Homo-oligomer: A and B are copies of this chain.
Amino acid sequence: MTSTEANSRPSSPEANSRPSSPEAGRPTKQRLAVARIMDTFEGFRSAQEVHTLLATAGETVGLATVYRALQRMAEAGEVDTLRTEEGELTYRRCSTTHHHHLVCRACGATVEIEGPAVERWAQTVSHEHGYVDVSHTLEIFGTCADCARVSTGGR
């Protein structure tokens, strides 16, 4: 502590420091580790999987911290989220433009797809019904060529 209060410069409580990035947060070691590991894989991974991946890579980051980091990155648009059919949230680094995914049920291979027509259609239909502030979720699930080839012999 500063022994007694410095009478000369009480220092303004706030308003003097300018956050370099309004909602950026700090680039801590843990966040950087999470951000880095997100570049090392292709498909969508759950927070827990990311946590395990980090541990395997030698980076020890708390599970709660991984959740928080991914959450923040998702809000910032740095990663995309996808809710699996079982309800689990998964994350993946991807482009910031609005798009959807074509995911293989078997191996998880993902293809980013765009559908301007769909976007427009969603807007139009919504407005026709008086809805505003519209957003939508669209995910396509299927079996990719490779997995389909393998499964043909099964059963």
User: Interface on A for B, CB 8 Å cutoff?
Assistant: 1-2, 83, 85-87, 89, 102, 104-105, 111, 113, 115, 117-118, 121-122, 125-126, 129-145, 148
Contacts and interface: CB of A to CB of B under 8 A. Distances in A.
A44 to B, nearest CB: 14
A138 B137 contact: yes
A124 B104 CA distance: 16
Contact of A138 (B89, B104, B134, B138): B138
Nearest to A125: B113
> How many copies of this kind of chain does the complex include?
2
A130 B104 CA distance: 10
A136 B135 contact: no
Of residues A117, A130, A145, which shows the largest number of chain B Cβ atoms within 10 Å of its Cβ?
Answer: A130
Given A137-B139, A139-B137, A117 B121 contact: yes
A130 to B, nearest CB: 3
Contact of A1 (B85, B113, B129): B85
Contacts of A87: 83, 87, 89
Leading 6 A-B pairs by shortest Cβ distance = A130-B145, A131-B142, A134-B142, A136-B140, A138-B138, A133-B143
A134 B139 CA distance: 11
A98 B90 CA distance: 26
